[in-house]
A and B are shown apart, each in its own frame.
Chain A
């Protein structure tokens, strides 16, 4: 019936409906913001770790080591061992340095791979990088090329000289000239990869006593798990300080462990928020519900069934909660869009998005709790509704 339609009460009682919707909406903005920020950080971290989908790494920590009671150079030990592993397709000899990448909470080290010019295109193809501006590093020079997100994040441009000699906070040792800009096509299976390329000969010259090579080992197609196990078998008896290796499985395990811990902490914090907000909304709702007791009493007295009244109130409250939730998501996205355009994107960061799975997931507990608690309250209150006690009121 039109007079008792679900929207009539809302349209005519905006002062009672709006507070609930606004509290819900703002709480959604608050809760999803923390989730979206965490999500952005971890998605960013994921982009930095993406190269592990293409390469396992073996890094030399010392010039030589003791193997089977005999001293042995670490470099020749690795270079002789790698070709014997059935899972290895090819490997690149590199020296890896890091550039400090500024994030919303804390910084990340982004890898710059110094390799031979012959290996440049192999690495670029693997990561889906293309040179969009400038040139690739020439051999024997301090030239580097970087992906666009690093340039944006650091405010660097092609032609700039960068490094610890220029800025002592920088982790890139010495000074380097940026000669090119790389764009990540994102077409590779691992998605975007953040990083850069330098020249191996130049780095070797900077480290005359011991060259801390990192071998980028590419597996044969579909053989990454095999390669992981071959590496762990091969380096089983080698001390980590002599030779360190990282595998996709190990990196992902560490990453997902960090991520899961953060999600648990975030989940616990949000649970407290959810409980407090839900109680506030439900209490407010109960007050408004009790103010309508005359209406429910009358409907009961003139013959409307209790099921009709309960259904009407539940649908009204569900609609109110859904409106608040939807408005909260839109409001969040509006706020995020502002921050994405004004801060995240200009700094090469991925940006926040409320419709990403994690923030969206974190937006659900508040409306769900409110609907559940409201349903229980409504059923309890209206279940005890005694129309006679209401209609027996006298002037």
Chain B
């Protein structure tokens, strides 16, 4: 049974990649609980399984074993049901922005919206400081602006949880600070899960989990 008061919960989740030649254990017996609001970091070096954990928590990947609960319900096993849940309740910011070059800023944000809510989109544009850029195309924007458009797209449905993969990887220092500050702001109304190898952007995080070789490293002093 899922724990009460948590939005997202993983219980003994493992993920194994298999191909013809080898078997790789990406995640090993992960158990975690995330509340409805707050900024949470998953920290670890490259190849530690951070992104895999993000995919499992969001339902993009199904765990090899273990269960993921969202809002007290087990993530559905049917792909269409998982897609529907992800589209309506979750937001995702990938490491690469994946903006569509033939769509304007406004239209790219609308891609993330289920109901095409125009006012919500305009509100997001204002909140993320993208005013005046609505009609521009992604190739006309700076790296920081593109990242903010990608964040706006993830927020278009007012999601309950936002997954963010290496948000500052392709940004300069100034833009990185702005994006982190934005994510902190968002975390006041939703659960924001950030995956990064850079601990400096998690200074204000409400919780940090360290991953090493697919397993959570216990906090110092804990059993």
- List residues of chain A with CB under 8 Å of any chain B CB: 1-4, 8-9, 12-13, 294-295, 297-306, 387-388, 391-395
Chain B, residue nearest A392 (CB):
B51
Instruction: Name the contact of B83 in the complex, choosing from A2, A304, A391, A393 (C-beta under 8 A).
Output: A304
- Closest CB of chain A to B82's CB: distance in Å? 8
- Closest CB of chain B to A115's CB: distance in Å? 74
**Main SS class of interface, A:** helix
Interface string of B47-74 (1 = CB under 8 A from A): 0000100010000110000000000000
B177 at the interface (CB under 8 A from A): no
B112 at the interface (CB under 8 A from A): yes
- Which residues on the B side are within 8 Å of A13 (C-beta)? 102
A1 to B112, CA, bound (A): 10
Is B86 a contact partner of A302 (Cβ separation < 8 A)?
yes
A13 to B60, CA, bound (A): 30
A12-B102, A295-B100, A391-B98 as given contacts; A303 in contact with B84, CB under 8 Å: yes
- List residues of chain B with CB under 8 Å of any chain A CB: 51, 55, 60-61, 79-80, 83-88, 90, 92, 94-96, 98, 100, 102-103, 106-108, 110-113, 116, 153-154, 169-170
3 closest A-B pairs by beta carbon, nearest first, are: A303-B87, A3-B107, A12-B102
Known: A297-B98, A301-B60. 13 other contacts (CB 8 A): A1-B111, A3-B110, A12-B103, A294-B98, A295-B100, A301-B94, A302-B153, A303-B90, A304-B83, A304-B87, A391-B60, A391-B94, A391-B96
A1-B113, A3-B111, A302-B86 as given contacts; A395 in contact with B102, CB under 8 Å: no
Chain A, residue nearest B170 (CB):
A395
A295 to B138, CA, bound (A): 13
- Which residues on the A side are within 8 Å of B107 (C-beta)? 2-3, 8
Chain B, residue nearest A308 (CB):
B83
| Chain A to chain B contacts (Cβ below 8 Å), 20 pairs | A2-B107, A2-B110, A3-B103, A8-B102, A8-B103, A298-B98, A298-B100, A301-B92, A302-B87, A302-B92, A302-B111, A302-B154, A304-B83, A388-B60, A391-B60, A393-B96, A394-B95, A395-B95, A395-B169, A395-B170
- Which residues on the B side are within 8 Å of A391 (C-beta)? 60, 94, 96, 98
Instruction: Name the contact of A1 in the complex, choosing from B79, B88, B90, B116 (C-beta under 8 A).
Output: B116
A268 to B157, CA, bound (A): 56
- Which residues on the B side are within 8 Å of A2 (C-beta)? 107, 110, 116
- Which residues on the A side are within 8 Å of B85 (C-beta)? 303
